[in-house]
């Protein structure tokens, strides 16, 4: 039987058009900011909850920011189409002329998260489907602050038995009230790392956070001492202000290096990635400016063979990270606090954690359920405020004023 190819293709196109979900126009009408009891007393690393409401009756949920930084960002997107996520991101980043710094990017990231949640809900799909579909069945985790089970060996062994891929330790703290003597602390740390390594072998791995507290020679000495113990990564070896120092450090250190929890957008860390001065990016959500920015950073990491080990964050942002990390084709390891048990009264559903791993789910959007009645409302923005002109290129894209 001969088939008319043109009519056949037209039929396929028509069927696809009927099957494809339509995305309703959604104008942003209101942004609310709720105070989370989980949040640390640091406005640039907050777990506060943000909601973005639309005239389509849908609400997106995000996390991060402070009252003032959320207000300034929210005032720029009232009335905008919620489906134009990158446009809204550019507007919040550049709409007050000065590019958003790290503290403001935390707020921008919260709102960006909520916009992705909105879009997923509007289409009835999880966010990872909008990002290309999951590349892995689950995401391996390592534990920070696993509950003590006795000595270091017993605790590390229990962490691996709970299903975590790795147990994380850190540079030793000095005795209470004593000064930080780097040489002594490096020696104590090496002994501790040896015990941890022996405890997790051969089924598990271990990692260590230097907390940026060591100077260059001490960071090199500790890295050299623990190199035979094969940590899965060494974290934040030096202060984050001078990224160029890692060019010299890389010549002396052979252990895998993970850096970025004190950074924000891709511009903070691009030099380290593009010159392959690190092995893993620790940049996280919402600090970098949300899912929009995180995925651009992930693309740079993939290009230069750098993996993702994002820093721990709030429960909504952790759920968002599962979507981002699940679509990344390179190495991924996520940080989880404690033994994984986490019940939050205002979040009946957030990230799906079990057996030491995080699992993508099929719930629409970020897969988070938020009970606003359980946390205090601190801000409501319904009016737009744009104090400087906005300039656009002939094609409608935003440029700077």
Q: Which residue has the tokens 């069927």?
A: 15
Q: Where are the domains of the chain?
A: 28-123+371-399, 129-359
Mean pLDDT estimate for the chain? 93
Confidence of residue 39 (pLDDT cuts 50, 70, 90): confident
| Residue 104 to residue 68: CA distance in whole angstroms | 9
CA pair distance 259, 274, nearest whole angstrom: 14
Interatomic CA distance for residues 107 and 113, integer angstroms: 10
Token pair recorded at residue 309 = 């080990």
The encoded tokens of residue 240 equal 């984050």
Task: Give residue 377's pLDDT band: very low, low, confident or very high (50, 70, 90).
Answer: very high
So what's the pLDDT on residue 40? 75
Catalytic residue, from 211, 252, 323, 350: name it: 211
Comparison of pLDDT for 98 and 54, the residue scoring more: 54
Catalytic residue flag (residue 87): no
3-class SS shares of the chain: helix, strand, coil, % to 5: 40, 20, 45
The reply to whether 211 belongs to the active site is yes
Give the model's pLDDT for residue 9.
38
CA 309 – CA 291 distance, rounded (Å): 15
Q: What is the pLDDT of residue 4?
A: 46
Dist CA 191 CA 296 (whole Å): 40
Q: What is the pLDDT of residue 225?
A: 98
Q: DSSP strand E in 277-361: where?
A: 280-281, 307-308, 334-337, 352-354, 357-359
pLDDT tens-digit series, residues 151-163: 999 999 999 999 9
Q: Which residues contact 206 (CB under 8 A, 6 or more apart)?
A: 156, 166, 167, 168, 169, 193, 196, 197, 200, 229, 231, 232
CA distance 77 to 87: 10
Contacts of 305 (CB under 8 A, 6+ apart): 276, 330
129-152: average pLDDT? 96
DSSP-derived secondary structure letter, 344: B
Of the candidates 48, 197, 311, 350, the residue annotated as catalytic is: 311
Report the CATH superfamily, name and number, of domain 129-359.
Answer: Enolase-like C-terminal domain (3.20.20.120)
Query: Which two tokens mark 6?
Result: 């043109």
The alpha carbon dihedral of 360, 365, 371, 377 has a sign of positive
Convert the pLDDT of each residue in 159-190 to its tens digit. Answer: 999 999 999 999 999 999 999 999 999 999 99
Residue 7 has pLDDT above 50, yes or no: no
- 28-123+371-399 and 129-359 agree in CATH topology: no
Task: Identify the burial level of 329 via C-beta atoms within 10 angstroms of its C-beta, where 0-12 means exposed, 13-18 middle and 19 or more buried.
Answer: exposed
Is the model's pLDDT at 269 over the cut of 80?
yes
CATH superfamily to which 28-123+371-399 belongs: Enolase-like, N-terminal domain (3.30.390.10)
- The least confident of 141-150, 203-212, 319-328, 335-344 is 335-344
Taking the C-alpha atoms of residue 359 and residue 181, their distance in angstroms, rounded to an integer, is 42
pTM of the model: 0.93
Q: Where does 304-363 have alpha helices with state H?
A: 315-326
pLDDT at position 41 is 75
pLDDT for the residue numbered 392: 95
Whether residue 298 has pLDDT greater than 60? yes
Nearest of 85, 123, 135 to residue 293 by alpha carbon? 85
The band of 21, judged by pLDDT with boundaries at 50, 70 and 90, is low
SS3 label, residue 308: strand
Determine the distance from the C-alpha atom of residue 132 to the mean position of all C-alpha atoms in its chain, rounded to a whole number: 18
* Res. 311 pLDDT band, cuts 50 70 90: very high
């Amino acid at each position: 039987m001969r088939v008319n190819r043109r009519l056949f293709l037209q039929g396929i196109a028509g069927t696809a058009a009927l099957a494809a979900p339509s995305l309703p126009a959604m104008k942003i009408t209101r942004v609310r900011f709720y105070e989370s009891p989980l949040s640390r007393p640091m406005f640039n690393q907050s777990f506060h909850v943000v909601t973005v409401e639309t005239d389509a009756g849908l609400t997106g949920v995000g996390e991060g920011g402070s009252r003032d930084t959320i207000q300034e960002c929210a005032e720029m997107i009232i009335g905008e189409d919620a489906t134009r996520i990158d446009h809204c991101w550019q507007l919040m980043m550049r709409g007050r002329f000065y590019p958003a710094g790290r503290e403001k990017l935390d707020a921008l990231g919260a709102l960006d998260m909520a916009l992705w949640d909105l879009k997923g809900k509007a289409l009835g799909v999880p966010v990872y489907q909008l990002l290309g579909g999951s590349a892995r069945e689950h995401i391996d985790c390592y534990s920070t602050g696993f509950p003590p089970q006795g000595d270091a060996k017993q605790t590390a062994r229990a962490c691996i038995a709970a299903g975590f891929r790795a147990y994380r330790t850190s540079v030793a703290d000095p005795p209470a009230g004593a000064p930080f003597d780097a040489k002594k602390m490096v020696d104590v740390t090496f002994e501790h790392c040896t015990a941890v390594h022996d405890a997790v072998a051969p089924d598990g791995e271990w990692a260590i956070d230097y907390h940026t507290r060591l100077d260059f020679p001490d960071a090199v000495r500790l890295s050299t001492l623990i190199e035979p113990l094969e940590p899965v990564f060494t974290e934040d070896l030096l202060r984050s202000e001078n990224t160029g120092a890692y060019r010299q450090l890389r010549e002396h250190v052979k252990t895998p290096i993970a850096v970025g929890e004190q950074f924000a957008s891709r511009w903070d860390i691009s030099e380290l990635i593009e010159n392959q001065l690190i092995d893993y990016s620790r940049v996280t959500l919402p600090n970098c400016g949300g899912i929009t920015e995180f995925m651009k950073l992930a693309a740079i990491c993939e290009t230069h063979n750098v993996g993702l080990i994002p820093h721990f964050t709030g429960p909504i942002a952790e759920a968002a990270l599962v979507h981002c990390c699940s679509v990344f084709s390179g190495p991924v390891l996520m940080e989880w606090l404690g033994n994984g048990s986490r019940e939050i009264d205002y979040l009946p559903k957030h990230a799906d954690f079990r057996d030491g791993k995080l699992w993508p789910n099929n719930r629409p959007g970020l897969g988070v359920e938020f009970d606003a009645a359980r946390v205090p409302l601190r801000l409501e923005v319904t009016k737009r405020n744009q104090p400087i002109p906005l300039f656009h290129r002939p094609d409608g894209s935003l440029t700077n004023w």
